[in-house]
Structure 1
């Protein structure tokens, strides 16, 4: 085994698990991932792809798992080592809040502080309560809380155990749409306020593109792709490509706000875009999502069009879509990538092939929020 000082920072997981989900359903998990030791890593895939199984392996909740696991230089599992769950410095947030019903919200938080291996930290307590916006509900019993409030208390409880790693297993899955929209800004504040690596399981693209810095795509117990989210979501032949939601993510900087037309101009490594202004936001950085279905291509630039956003680029990849009438095209624009979904007929008529220079018209782009 390598010395602790020789182990790279980050999370390295080489894990294998095999079991019977039912008498006729054998499942195998085989994962080999290297993910950052900071920020949010999303584990993304359809139901049954092995997302929760992977999270349980990281938590030490699967006894038959083989392989190795290192978290920011600390070995939790190896051929001659097995650190039990209660000795792994982690917090776990489930789909359901699982709060103690006989305790108030504050009582649940105090329980976490008592169970922590670290000394109580008043400053941390105040920060967690403030970030999760639960100051006004601390005296209430869990039965008096809404679903979103219970989940925020559950997240706060996990943070107050002072973990070195936070695992979140579809924390919004049990909430209706209004409650999801209510809690997402708190998850963003959590990501930005605490220097704790977060592994976030979800099958919802909108959550992933809003919260994650890095992503791991899973299918049938295997990892099909992993990487920085802005790079990963612009790959044309990902399993995501069969979805109508496929699209690129751009990290942009606001360079102008046009109050007359309620627009803002943002710059990215590849050009500039005009977008609807985000009222009340003074952030200079914005994550922007451009769906492949909102991108069209022309051989020459057009000035007599209602489309404001026109960029020059180059075709780097063409793949067939799940729909036989359609194709997905990956486009390089400066140091960034976009995707376009076009008909096979348009592909043929315009002779769109790898390496061809092209003009890109973006009919719509959205701030991720």
Structure 2
């Protein structure tokens, strides 16, 4: 269960949202500037709400009334950005292992192989990021986040920098992740088709407020 009830002033925009869902994938949908990335940055702990609470499962990670703010490194959250943000001087295997080592997790070869197979990136292990396509880089970034064993995965327009062909290539991997790994996701997008394919609960944002929320049937055609 993810429970968000926050207010934050962002320049001229006042972000004021409240939603809760136990859907495997929550879609945050809306145009650029609606507040989508600001919401997931607060969920990640990268910024603080001016007022309100954020709960992940049974744990409250923000509560402004009592001054509670759990730092990002203690939230066990994976974050995949629009640009993959891989280390160019490290190969794919080293990039994949970064999240595990940063979270001081013991090596888990079985989990490592499962993620390689899930994302079909085993044959890329010795390549550098500069030798990968855009879709391959995003799959590696997703693998790196999963290998840190997060309890929640935040995805900020992960297909936004890809052309239609690359999007069609990578979307089935996101569906496999949803159906096979059972890691809850918050998926940010302004593309209704992407959101419709992945999300079970959709929060539609406009000018920092929730315009509508419900199943994917609320999305525009």
Deviations 1:336-368 (CA, angstroms, capped at 9, x unpaired):
xxxxxxxxxxxxxxxxxxxxxxxxxxxxxxxxx
**d(CA) in 1 for partners of 2:143, 2:109:** 14
The correspondence for 2:20, drawn from 29, 34, 48, is: 34
Please, what TM-score do these two structures have when normalized by structure 1? 0.58
Q: CA separation of 1:117/1:73 partners in 2, compared to 1, >3 Å: closer, same or farther?
A: farther
Within 2, Cα distance between the matches of 1:196 and 1:167?
10
Cα shift at 1:116: 2.1
Following TM superposition, the consecutive aligned residue runs of length 4 or more in structure 1 with deviations greater than 6 angstroms are none
Q: How does 1:254-265 map to 2 (within 5 A)?
A: none
User: In the TM superposition, what are the counterparts of 1:5-24 in structure 2 within 5 Å?
Assistant: 10-20=1-11
Q: CA deviation at 1:39?
A: 1.0
Quick one: distance in 2 between partners of 1:122 and 1:215? 35
Distance of 1:198 and 1:28 partners within structure 2: 25
Residues 148 and 182 in structure 1, CA contact (< 8 A), matched pair in contact too: yes
Q: Which has the higher strand share?
A: 1
Pairs aligned (count): 219
Distance 1:227 1:124 in 2: 34
Alignment partner of 1:196 is 2:187: no
1:226 counterpart = 2:213: yes
Instruction: Report the more deviating stretch, 183-192 or 64-73.
Output: 64-73
- Show CA shifts across 1:32-68 (max 9, x none): 10111x5111100111111111111111111353210
Match of 1:187 in 2: 174
What does 1:44-83 correspond to in 2, within 5 Å? Answer: 44-78=29-63, 79-80=65-66, 81-83=68-70
User: Cα RMSD over matched residues?
Assistant: 1.3
Tell me the secondary structure at the aligned position of residue 179 of structure 1. Answer: helix
Residue 129 (structure 1) aligned to one of 116, 119, 139: 116
Q: Tell me, yes or no, if the aligned pair for 1:116 and 1:162 is still in contact at 8 Å.
A: no
Partners of 1:120 and 1:83 lie apart in 2 by: 26
Structure 2 unmatched runs, 5+: none
Distance in 2 (alpha carbons) for counterparts of 1:84 and 1:12: 18
What SS does the aligned partner of 1:154 have?
helix
Give me the whole-angstrom Cα distance separating, in 2, the residues matched to 1:134 and 1:203.
27
Larger Rg: 1
| CA pair 119-65 structure 1, distance change in 2 beyond 3 A | farther
1:96 maps to 2:83: yes
Partner of 1:209: 196
Quote the offset at 1:193 in angstroms: 1.1
CA distance in 2, matches of 1:188, 1:196: 11
Structure 1 residues 223 and 117, CA gap change in structure 2 (3 angstroms): farther
Q: Residue in 2 aligned with 1:319?
A: none
